[in-house]
A and B are shown apart, each in its own frame.
Chain A
Amino acid sequence: MKTSIIGIGQTEFSTHSGRSELQLALEAILSALKDAGLEVNDIDGLVRYTWDNTTEAAIVNALGLPRLKYYGETEFGGVNCCGAIAQASAAIEAGLASCVVFYRALNARSGVRFGRGERILVEEGEHVVCHQPEPPGDIYSAPFGLLVPGQHHALYAQSYKGHYGLSDDAFAHMLGSVAVTQRGYANNNPRALLRDKKMTMDDYRNARVISEPLRIFDYCLETDGAMAIVLVSRERARQMNVKAVDILAAEQYIHPGSVPMFLYAKKTYSLVPEEAGDILFGKAQMSPSDIDVAMIYDATSMMVPLALEDFGFIGRGEAHDFLTSGGNAIDGNLPINTHGGLLSEGYFHGLNTIAEGVRQLRGESPNQVDAETVFMTLRGASSMIMGRA
């Protein structure tokens, strides 16, 4: 890829924004443009999730944009957030647009919640009915009470635990090492929703079980707010007086049964097509050992051990030892989710995960690492590598 991120902007993370998703989107876009030192009329491309309730038309009209030359949409929400970066980059490289904004706005706590079945079920007379053909919460899952993404993550977790024969205690220690380490990062992050809430391993172990083997602290935070990311060509970024971060490679993947939700994928203890890591690192002409810090889309803590193994940072079955020995800590082999992650900072559907990678490479992280390269992935559905400009 020959593109760069030159601006990031966001609203506050909250549980009750008190404003419309359109307003949140606009606030985030203006904030990202300001960060990039650009004017509204510089935007000529937009990329959004199909799951976003705001539309290209609403954004263009609200901004009074004279023209939009490219607008792209990507499916499956957060799992494809690196795919959205790939799409924006492809549009720029193909000359379809010169300055593309990728945004996401959601009242995911005060509005429709991903963690609740109300999103997909309707009451019809004496019955509770599902009309949804695809997971999560599809007609084949909902009657058994499998309704929300977090329950799918419990299935991956149990599959991994069973495949590698981990005891309850060892498994809790592994995931607790993710949750507790990330909470520590969030405690240093003034933006984080849980900046003031300390957590110990005992707190983690004693926490309420939601879907076995996952506890409440294994889950991300349903959040209100918005984030926007501005991309231009690397060539143009070099001519601007901005702190740019380069996209070195960005990929999206679907393999049979993998989306949505991996219900029908061959393996459920590994969530990536076999060749995904080779393709990604090959394009960046790097190997996992070249990566300084990783951002892993942690809808649940379970995504961290899976991504570490799936992309070859460690061997299969080695996640327990890596994580319980502090491999993801600030002084570990690979600091991970240094903003606190979706578990403890907030949840802008992966865009805040990208933003922390950008901050690390700009030297602006609340938990700064000497980072030249950042890896990021979303459960084997999309991934990317960013580099210091």
Chain B
Amino acid sequence: MNIRPGKEFLSQPYWRHLAEGTLHLNSCNDCGSSHHPPSPLCPKCHSFNTGWKPASGKGTLNSFSVIRHAVHPSLADKVPYIITLVDLEEGVRLVSGIPAGMDVDLEVGMPLECKVVKIDDEFALPYFVPVEND
């Protein structure tokens, strides 16, 4: 059982773009800066002329936690799972996680890249995973 935002949120651009497979960031059409969570006003230049642009998907790990205690019955069969804070190249932070079953060795400051994981037709999540070394 997955936890998801209510329908009133899933119809908004952030979640619609994810459901279509890409992470987009709320961004200012005047000064170009990106923001998260989305807002009607650009906090840098105070323009209301904001829109959406695709994220590069590159970020670094700000922090993480391996959650061992399930705080809701729907998470009982999911623990342990990993939550993360990711600082994106665009200067915004996202809450994210590591997809279930992925074996990772995490360190604060390490580079990560976005992997959008589709849950169903209406809903997908922006996970961030360690950058693969070639």
Contact = CB atoms under 8 A, between A and B. Distances in A.
A256 B64 CA distance: 21
A155 B8 contact: no
Given A211-B65, A263-B95, A268-B63, A129 B5 contact: yes
Contact of A143 (B69, B71, B108, B125): B125
A266 to B, nearest CB: 9
Interface string B69-106: 10110110010010111000000011111000000000
B66 interface: yes
A131 B108 contact: no
Interface in B46-66: 62-66
A159 B72 CA distance: 25
Please indicate which of the listed interface residues B37, B67, B74, B81 has the most CB atoms of chain A within 10 Å of its own CB: B67
A163 interface: yes
A94 interface: no
Interface residue tally on A, bucketed by range: 35 or more
Contacts of B75: 117, 145
B68 interface: yes
B3 A151 contact: no
B37 A140 contact: yes
B62 A210 contact: no
A92 to B, nearest CB: 35
Contacts of A263: 85, 93, 95
Contact of A118 (B37, B68, B72, B108): B72
Interface stretch (A35-43, A120-128, A289-297): A120-128
A154 interface: yes
Contact of A142 (B3, B63, B96): B3
B98 to A, nearest CB: 9
Please indicate which of the listed interface residues A117, A124, A146, A151 has the most CB atoms of chain B within 10 Å of its own CB: A146
12 contacts: A129-B5, A129-B6, A130-B5, A131-B6, A138-B37, A143-B2, A144-B95, A145-B81, A158-B65, A158-B108, A210-B69, A268-B62
